Structure 1
Amino acid sequence: MIAIILLIAFIALLAWVVYAAGPKFALKRFGGALIVLLLVTFGVSAMLKLASADEATQQALEELGVSRNSEPCVSALGVGASVDDVNECVEERGLDQNVFAQYGTWVEQVVIDRDLGFAFYKNREKLSDTMRQRLPRTAWLFLYSQITALLIAVPLGIWSAYQANRGGRNFPRWLLPVGIGILLLIGLFGGFRLTSLFALIIAVGAIYSIVAGGRLADNNTNFLAFALLSIPVFVLAETLRYAFAIERDVYQLTGYEPWSAGAFEHFKSIWLPALVLGMAASPVYLRLLRADMIQNLQQDFVSVAKAKGMSNTHILLRHVLRPSTVTLMTVLGLNIAQLVNGAIVVEFIYDLDGMGSYLIQAFSRREFFAVQTIVALVAALFILTNTVIDVMYTAVDPRVKAEDDK
């Protein structure tokens, strides 16, 4: 039910975007995206065909007396495969054809026949069944992490830009960095309770300094953004896992729960992984939004709005935030590739068994057919998302379409 609602919402958003941008402009962008998608998927197909085999597979190829084109089939079936099984796999996948014919066979199979092939060829496990089970986990993780990142970055970015170069309470700028350094030392040599207490004190002080406003709020916000940006995803994931799942048992490491198990159980099973990915993505969004808003706050239209007696809140949210979101929207689209990398790590640490975990298994078992299809789907999602965002620029800033029509 939730998936259907989201699908309807996406279709409505797409229709609104096409209407706002104009059919001609949207068709031009989506046509270019289709060409890029064909080139990307063909490149993936060609690279997988040229992939080198490991020593065990090379030895199995020699023992079976089959051609090098059979390498993906031998890898998928295992070193104990028979010649008949390998030949059947080669014929089924069109591996005896050239790279263009093989790509055409794959497109016909996936697009026309709607057959995604096998997730694990040896077990004849269908990839569509695997995706039906695993894809919602990764999709919800992506969605919740981006919502979390925006909930963190947008308010802090607006507030930080507004407080830049303003007066305020004069606290030492070195206080927060030194406090975090002491916290790290306590975490290395002290106990969990002492570390938690000191972390709480620093968090309260940081929140107070940011809420109090002034230049210090901007400085501390920037410092926290750089601190989060410098922490690798796997370190952040392991730290929060230790703090919330091992020491305090706040998060249950029992795997993913779907919406059918109840909304509470669903969010309970995924909130911490989503928080990890959201915290990892938020510093980039925050910094970009802050920089664009500071630049737009210096424009003439802001001075005119102030002269008309408009409130600061109205100016920030109505006149400054809208043109400042163009760069943020761009990074949101480009961040999909980074999210895939982060999801692989986070799903493994929190035992979510999503598509990221499956990709690791597929690569380790050299399931080239499934890898090709998954990579193509990720590429399609990446291109579609960035194309939609590209068209949405005209709704946010009509000058984009005007410049494109010149």
Structure 2
Amino acid sequence: MSLFLFKRLITLIATLVGTSVVVFLVLEILPGNAAQILMGPDASPEAVATLAQKLGLDRPAAGRYWEWVTGMLHGDLGLSYAYSSPVSELVLERMTLTVPLALMAMTLTTVLALAAGIYAAARHNKAGDVGIMGLTQVGIAIPNFWFAILLILLFSVQLKWLSAGGFPGWEDEGILGGLRALLLPALSLAVVQAAILARITRSAVLEVLREDFVRTARAKGVSQRATLWGHVLRNAMIPVITVMGLQFAELLAGTIVVETVFSLPGVGRLIFQSILNRDVIVVRNCVMLLATMVVLVNFVVDVLYAAIDPRVKASDI
């Protein structure tokens, strides 16, 4: 197991290094200048050049990349051009909303998808199966932002059960109040991902149901419910967990749009505002942070592979 984890850690570190290089280079070649945005379109070239020198934008790219990487390792993400405050404080403040939103959406996705996928597989080619697959097809076709608007119209405008946007804060409303404010955004993120995961779960469960050990368990008198939850589900989880790891990345990326629709002060909205302001240092650190979270999730998925199916670990050694 130690060799398996060591190889995965080496892959994780190499992926993070490569990601940092790509993120830095992509933002470097994008058009636009933070100094020009901050000074305004009517500023003189001399004033823009002076501000660019003050912000360090005139320095060689290699030196700025090294300073950025070493700063991240020491917890220093630099100062925002637009907000004139430490980037780490801006990001941490927004992460207290984005991380709970993504986790809440992932929880809803998992619960809805596993329940729907197993239910459909247990009733293969019956009315329940056809109905569930039809609903998942609709769910896949619905864009997140459009479904978010429908949720606002129904639960906020018509029924007036939930707020149409904004976030009261964890201190003011408490945990229950904060989760209530995040319910509609999380649901709008979860519907599409749950539809995809439900179809993957159904296919994986149906494949395992055809195995000999399942027929043996049924022949010994084990009930269908006990067979599904005690034997089939664990053996069908490898492809399901793979998709779940990829979906967490989709949920993090989806927060940029959903947080804008619901006016939530999260990392996604911070990235959107920083792009408009050409605040490259904030965009760079936020994108790197999201990429790091995705890589870490994939690392956890690899470890779960070995925990669920020891053959994965054995084949990798």
Q: Which TM bucket (shorter chain)?
A: over 0.9
C-alpha separation in 2, matches of 1:137 and 1:122: 21
What residue in structure 1 maps to residue 59 of structure 2? 96
What residue in structure 1 maps to residue 99 of structure 2? 139
What residue in structure 1 maps to residue 311 of structure 2? 399
Q: After TM superposition, give the deviation of residue 126 of structure 1 in Å.
A: 2.1
Measured against aligned partners, the alpha-carbon deviations of 1:332-380 in whole angstroms (never above 9, x if no partner) come to 1112332133211211111112111111111111111111111111111
Superposed counterparts of 1:239-250, under 5 Å:
239-250=150-161
Superposed counterparts of 1:183-194, under 5 Å:
none
Superposed counterparts of 1:135-284, under 5 Å:
135-165=95-125, 215-253=126-164, 255-260=166-171, 261-284=173-196
> Structure 1 residues 106, 73: closer, same or farther in 2, change over 3 A?
farther
Find 1:364's aligned residue among 276, 281, 295.
276
> Structure 1 residues 104, 77: closer, same or farther in 2, change over 3 A?
farther
Same amino acid, percent of matched pairs: 29
Unpaired stretches in structure 1, ≥5 consecutive residues: 1-21, 54-70, 166-214
Q: After TM superposition, give the deviation of residue 254 of structure 1 in Å.
A: 5.3
C-alpha separation in 1, matches of 2:108 and 2:50: 52
Q: CA RMSD in A?
A: 1.7
Q: After TM superposition, give the deviation of residue 251 of structure 1 in Å.
A: 0.8
Find 2:78's aligned residue among 100, 109, 117.
117
Is the Cα contact below 8 Å between 2:145 and 2:188 reproduced in 1?
no
What residue in structure 2 maps to residue 44 of structure 1? 23
> Structure 1 residues 130, 227: closer, same or farther in 2, change over 3 A?
same
Find 1:85's aligned residue among 24, 35, 51.
51
Find 2:211's aligned residue among 283, 290, 299.
299
C-alpha separation in 2, matches of 1:248 and 1:279: 20
Letter in 1 for 2:155: F
Is the Cα contact below 8 Å between 1:158 and 1:290 reproduced in 2?
yes
> Which SS does the other structure have where 2:236 is aligned?
helix
Is the Cα contact below 8 Å between 1:158 and 1:289 reproduced in 2?
yes
Q: Larger Rg: 1 or 2?
A: 1
Q: After TM superposition, give the deviation of residue 103 of structure 1 in Å.
A: 1.5
Measured against aligned partners, the alpha-carbon deviations of 1:60-98 in whole angstroms (never above 9, x if no partner) come to xxxxxxxxxxx44444554534543321212xx6x522x
C-alpha separation in 1, matches of 2:112 and 2:34: 45
> Which SS does the other structure have where 1:272 is aligned?
helix
Is the Cα contact below 8 Å between 1:76 and 1:367 reproduced in 2?
no
Q: Structure 1 residue 385 and structure 2 residue 297: aligned?
A: yes
C-alpha separation in 1, matches of 2:254 and 2:54: 37
Q: Structure 1 residue 321 and structure 2 residue 284: aligned?
A: no
C-alpha separation in 2, matches of 1:118 and 1:254: 29
> Which SS does the other structure have where 1:125 is aligned?
coil
Is the Cα contact below 8 Å between 1:144 and 1:274 reproduced in 2?
yes
C-alpha separation in 2, matches of 1:142 and 1:220: 28
Is the Cα contact below 8 Å between 1:78 and 1:122 reproduced in 2?
no
Q: After TM superposition, give the deviation of residue 100 of structure 1 in Å.
A: 3.2
- Number of residue-to-residue matches in the alignment: 312
Q: Normalising by structure 1, what TM-score? A: 0.73
Is the Cα contact below 8 Å between 2:82 and 2:279 reproduced in 1?
no
Measured against aligned partners, the alpha-carbon deviations of 1:217-254 in whole angstroms (never above 9, x if no partner) come to 00000000001111111111101111111122111235
What residue in structure 1 maps to residue 89 of structure 2? 129
C-alpha separation in 2, matches of 1:122 and 1:361: 10
- Segments of 4+ moved more than 3 angstroms: 71-84
> Structure 1 residues 123, 276: closer, same or farther in 2, change over 3 A?
closer
Superposed counterparts of 1:3-82, under 5 Å:
22-53=1-32, 71-75=33-37, 78-79=40-41, 80=43, 81-82=47-48
Is the Cα contact below 8 Å between 2:82 and 2:277 reproduced in 1?
no
